[in-house]
């Protein structure tokens, strides 16, 4: 195991706050991400686990530079050792950094799937699109269909094909697992693992611990906007004694495969 | 005492039934599981059982009777996405008390804090919202509870705690509980009996 | 304070509303003294004593204009209210009704959308004998389609929401659901629709009165003032038409602005910027 993998993404002290209107014209500032530190190395699958509302998706949006207008960002994001400015985000997005979104609604319902894959490609678009289709187990005929004609699992693979292509160094997959068949789920996970094995840095955002542990190398647990622990996947075993933070340990023990309710006996609501 | 659905046929597109003459029953005090992959029709069956989706054909009876209108229904359904099950313009307190006024004891069992009552859905987390939805569904008249992927979007700790309290209440009140999920491990921990949706659909042919 | 865009919008709305309100109040309370015919004062050009000049009967134009404005606004208000009310009812019926009912109402909307407003307002007004009744009915019965479609779409959107289904399951009647879930959701849209309808109503009233199919001399709205003033323009009495016309345009623009600002506030997408 190569422990000296190169760091592709390095996030330090990231804080994201939003100004929102509450009632009438009262404004308040909410800070869903506070002082977040995380890094992703080439060749690894780094899973980011957290409850919905812990700010995981915002992390992805910050790296891609697609945060909404009323947000404010503090802290540093480094890509391959260099500061990731908004300008740099724009050049890297789509070329070196790929984003596989959570929802299949990101696909244009009025455009044939094959065409959507070919968007943004250089050179012979059709040829490359067909190559990508093949790489994800889809046929040329599938490429001629519209999103509504394909199953959930196939759509997930199309999402991959539209964003992950030659030259991608960092892949951010946002909740790639919910709502699809076991088969498609395994295919997606296998795909992410393969991409990492071929040298890309993969950041997988999910609340599904089991999937994360299947293909992950390291896991970062997020809670209320900050990373409370980063550990290797091997620590998630047995009674979770190798895990440092009590929250992480409790998370591990609470899954149905482990103690589930039995460890909740006298626990207060968190 | 049971919730019985017989020969249910229903679908979302004309002439394409998702469920064809499917029969299902849920007894009082039972914890039954319904397992299936997404798209197999388990949520659809759940809605039919909750009397919230009218089937094309077939019957649904509760303890031998038909369902009455305009009353707090004896079968309550909890959705997977709590933010959709709450009116975004109503305060949590108003939504909570829409069917009946829950007592403090029930609220504390689910860890619902006073300060959340004056907030709006957009201001609280998914786990907190779901707890409100569950309490709202646990009126005196509730005899059967259908949990459709109730904790799928929640983290493991919140999931375990919610099920701990839900199971306890259902046991205490002899409520028949149907757990719909695609996670076998979860169903095995919760249910006395698990039905596989695919097999259920095959049986009816 | 001005970082808060919402605050700015609200202040704008209040400011404009105050100005309009003042005009209306003035219209009610200004004495009719200046409206007594005084042939010694007839056809005076604008001066300090009579900022808007006087007309052929010696009546002060400023007072006449302000009072006329009040009448235009009242008639416009009732007409817009009728239109918005009709739209709300039809929209809700189409939204919660059966598919056949919905199809029928949508067909009606499409049918009426294509009709030229002015011609039909004139027709309706003529059929009921003109006057305030004619104008109000004319405006109300021609301006409901767009808002109806909006309301119907909104209702259709939330009709199948989970929280509505649950509300029913908790024992609530359809009446409760319409009143407590649907209407609060629709209200912002309806109010905005009404506010944007108002200027239309006023302009249409002015137009058909000008053409002779609307109000009569007993109800001297701006439209009427303008139609009377036309005869005198060719002989150089420009102030009889210009000032009332200008005030009408300013008032209508103000309502339109308020309506647009309310629309921006009410839209959850643009509301947080």
Domains of chain A, with CATH numbers? 7-20+28-258 (3.40.50.300)
Strands B144-148 and B176-181: parallel
pTM for the whole structure? 0.83
CB neighbours of residue B23 within 10 Å: 14
CA distances from A268 to A264, B92, B103, B160 (A): 8, 22, 19, 12
Q: Is C133 within a domain?
A: yes
Domain total of chain C: 1
Which among B186, B192, B200, B153 has a CA at the least distance from the CA of B42?
Answer: B200
- Please report, rounded to a whole number, the percentage of residues in chain B having pLDDT higher than 70: 99
Chain A window 65-124: which residues touch B at a Cβ cutoff of 8 Å?
A: none
CB contact (8 A) between residue B79 and residue C162: yes
Residue A266, chain B, CB below 8 Å: the answer is no
Q: What distance in Å separates the CA atoms of residue C134 and residue C77, rounded to the nearest whole number? A: 14
Distance from CA of A28 to the nearest CA of B (A): 11
Phi/psi of residue A198, nearest 5 degrees: -85, 10
Our CA angle for A264, A266, A269, nearest 5°, is 70
SS3 A56: helix
CB contact (8 A) between residue B125 and residue A52: yes
Mean pLDDT of chain B: 92
Q: Is C208 within a domain?
A: yes
Band (pLDDT 50/70/90 cuts) for residue B126 is confident
Q: Is C2 within a domain?
A: no
Q: What is the pLDDT of residues A225-246, one digit of tens each?
A: 889 999 999 999 888 888 999 9
Q: What is the pLDDT of residues A179-223, one digit of tens each?
A: 667 777 787 888 889 889 988 999 999 888 888 999 999 999 998
pLDDT at A135 (0 to 100): 75
For residue B120, pLDDT over 60 is answered with yes
- Please report, rounded to a whole number, the percentage of residues in chain A having pLDDT higher than 70: 95
| Domains parsed from chain B with CATH numbers | 2-203 (3.40.50.300)
Q: What is the pLDDT of residues B64-100, one digit of tens each?
A: 999 999 999 999 999 998 999 999 989 999 999 999 9
* Chain A contact partners (≥3 CB pairs within 8 A): B, C
Q: What is the pLDDT of residues C38-61, one digit of tens each?
A: 777 777 777 777 778 887 777 888
When pLDDT is averaged across residues C194-200 and rounded to a whole number, the result is: 85
When pLDDT is averaged across residues A98-108 and rounded to a whole number, the result is: 80
For residue A263, pLDDT over 90 is answered with no
Q: What distance in Å separates the CA atoms of residue C87 and residue C108, rounded to the nearest whole number? A: 12
For residue A53, pLDDT over 70 is answered with no
pLDDT at A3 (0 to 100): 52
pLDDT at A4 (0 to 100): 60
Residues whose CB falls within 8 Å of the CB of residue C242, separated by 6 or more in sequence, listed in order: none
Residue A226, chain B, CB below 8 Å: the answer is no
Residues whose CB falls within 8 Å of the CB of residue C268, separated by 6 or more in sequence, listed in order: none
Band (pLDDT 50/70/90 cuts) for residue A155 is confident
Q: Is C212 within a domain?
A: yes
Q: What is the pLDDT of residues A6-30, one digit of tens each?
A: 889 999 999 998 887 766 667 778 8
Substitution target in C1, C3, C7, C271 with the highest count of A β-carbons within 10 Å is C7
Q: Is C164 within a domain?
A: yes
Packing angle of the helix pair C5-29, C61-96 (nearest 10 deg)? 120
Contacts of A27 in chain C (CB under 8 A): 4
Q: What is the pLDDT of residues C155-179, one digit of tens each?
A: 988 888 999 999 999 999 989 998 9
CB neighbours of residue C200 within 10 Å: 20
User: Would you give the DSSP letter of residue C34?
Assistant: G
Note down the domain range covering C134.
63-256
- Please report, rounded to a whole number, the percentage of residues in chain C having pLDDT higher than 90: 18
pLDDT at A1 (0 to 100): 47
Residue B78, chain C, CB below 8 Å: the answer is no
Band (pLDDT 50/70/90 cuts) for residue C1 is very low
pLDDT at C143 (0 to 100): 87
pLDDT at C46 (0 to 100): 77
Q: What distance in Å separates the CA atoms of residue C12 and residue B1, rounded to the nearest whole number? A: 64
Contacts of A182 in chain B (CB under 8 A): 37
Which CATH number does the domain housing residue C101 bear?
A: 1.10.3720.10
Q: What distance in Å separates the CA atoms of residue C246 and residue C206, rounded to the nearest whole number? A: 13
pLDDT at B71 (0 to 100): 93
Least confident window among A50-64, A224-238, B124-138: A50-64
For residue C235, pLDDT over 70 is answered with yes
Q: Which residue has the higher pLDDT, A83 or C11?
A: A83
For residue C206, pLDDT over 80 is answered with yes
CB contact (8 A) between residue B125 and residue A51: yes
């Amino acid at each position: 195991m190569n422990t000296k993998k190169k760091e592709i993404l390095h996030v330090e002290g990231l804080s994201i706050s939003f100004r929102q209107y509450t009632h009438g014209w009262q404004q308040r500032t909410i800070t869903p991400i506070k002082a977040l530190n995380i890094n992703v190395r080439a060749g690894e699958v780094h899973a980011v686990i957290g409850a919905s509302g812990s700010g995981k998706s915002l992390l992805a949006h910050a790296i891609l530079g697609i945060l909404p207008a009323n947000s404010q960002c503090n802290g540093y994001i480094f890509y391959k050792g260099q500061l990731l400015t908004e300008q740099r985000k724009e050049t890297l997005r789509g070329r070196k950094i790929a984003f596989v979104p959570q929802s299949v609604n990101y696909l244009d319902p009025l455009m044939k799937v094959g065409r959507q894959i070919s968007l943004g490609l250089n050179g012979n678009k059709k040829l490359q699109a067909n190559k990508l289709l093949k790489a994800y187990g889809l046929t040329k005929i599938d490429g001629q269909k519209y999103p509504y004609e394909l199953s959930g699992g196939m759509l997930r693979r199309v999402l991959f094909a539209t964003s992950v292509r030659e030259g991608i160094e960092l892949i951010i997959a946002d909740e790639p697992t919910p709502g699809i068949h076991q088969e498609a789920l395994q295919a997606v996970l296998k795909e992410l693992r393969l991409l990492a094995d071929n040298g890309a840095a993969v950041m997988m955002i999910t609340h599904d611990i089991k999937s994360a542990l299947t293909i992950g190398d390291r896991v970062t647990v997020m809670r209320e906007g900050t990373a409370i622990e980063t550990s290797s996947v091997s620590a998630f075993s047995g009674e979770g004694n190798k895990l440092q933070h009590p929250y992480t340990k409790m998370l591990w023990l609470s899954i149905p495969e482990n103690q589930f309710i039995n460890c909740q006996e006298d626990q207060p609501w968190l | 005492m049971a919730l019985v659905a017989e020969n249910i046929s229903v679908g979302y597109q004309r002439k394409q039934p998702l469920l064809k003459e499917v029969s299902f029953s849920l007894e009082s005090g039972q914890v039954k599981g319904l397992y299936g992959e997404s798209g197999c029709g388990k949520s659809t069956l759940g809605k039919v059982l909750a009397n919230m989706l009218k089937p094309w054909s077939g019957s649904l009876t509760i303890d031998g009777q038909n369902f009455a209108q305009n009353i707090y229904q004896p079968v309550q359904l909890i959705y997977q996405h709590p933010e959709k099950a709450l009116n975004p313009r109503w305060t949590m307190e108003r939504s909570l008390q829409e069917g009946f006024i829950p007592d403090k004891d029930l609220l504390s069992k689910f860890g619902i804090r006073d300060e959340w009552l004056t907030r709006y859905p957009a201001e609280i987390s998914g786990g907190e919202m779901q707890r409100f939805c569950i309490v709202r569904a646990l009126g005196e008249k509730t005899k059967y509870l259908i949990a459709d992927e109730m904790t799928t979007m929640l983290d493991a700790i919140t999931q375990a705690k919610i099920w701990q309290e839900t199971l306890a209440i259902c046991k205490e009140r002899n409520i028949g509980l149907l757990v719909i999920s695609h996670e076998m491990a979860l169903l095995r921990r919760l249910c006395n009996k698990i039905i596989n949706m695919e097999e259920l659909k095959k049986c009816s042919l | 304070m001005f970082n808060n865009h919402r605050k700015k919008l609200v202040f704008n709305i209040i400011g404009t509303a105050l100005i309009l309100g003042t005009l209306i109040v003035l219209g009610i309370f200004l004495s009719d003294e200046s409206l007594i015919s005084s042939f010694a004062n007839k056809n005076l050009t604008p001066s300090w004593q009579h900022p808007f000049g006087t007309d052929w009967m010696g009546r002060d134009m400023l007072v006449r204009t302000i009072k006329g404005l009040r009448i235009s606004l009242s008639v416009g208000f009732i007409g817009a209210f009728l239109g918005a009310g009709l739209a709300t009812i039809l929209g809700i019926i189409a939204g919660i009704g059966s598919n056949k009912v919905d199809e029928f109402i949508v067909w009606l909307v499409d049918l009426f959308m294509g009709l030229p407003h002015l011609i039909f307002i004139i027709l309706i007004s003529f059929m009921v004998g003109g006057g305030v009744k004619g104008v109000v009915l004319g405006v109300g019965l021609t301006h409901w389609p767009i808002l109806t479609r909006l309301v119907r779409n909104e209702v259709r959107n939330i009709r199948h929401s989970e929280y509505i289904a649950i509300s029913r399951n908790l024992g609530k009647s359809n009446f409760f659901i319409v009143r407590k879930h649907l209407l609060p959701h629709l209200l912002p849209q309806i109010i905005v629709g009404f506010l944007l309808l108002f200027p239309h109503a006023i302009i249409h009233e002015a137009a058909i009165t000008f053409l002779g199919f609307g109000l009569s001399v007993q109800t001297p709205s701006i439209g009427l003032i303008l139609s009377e003033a036309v005869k005198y323009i060719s002989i150089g009495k420009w102030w009889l038409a210009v000032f009332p016309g200008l005030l009408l345009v300013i008032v209508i623009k103000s309502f339109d602005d308020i309506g647009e600002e309310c629309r921006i506030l009410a839209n959850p997408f643009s509301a947080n910027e």
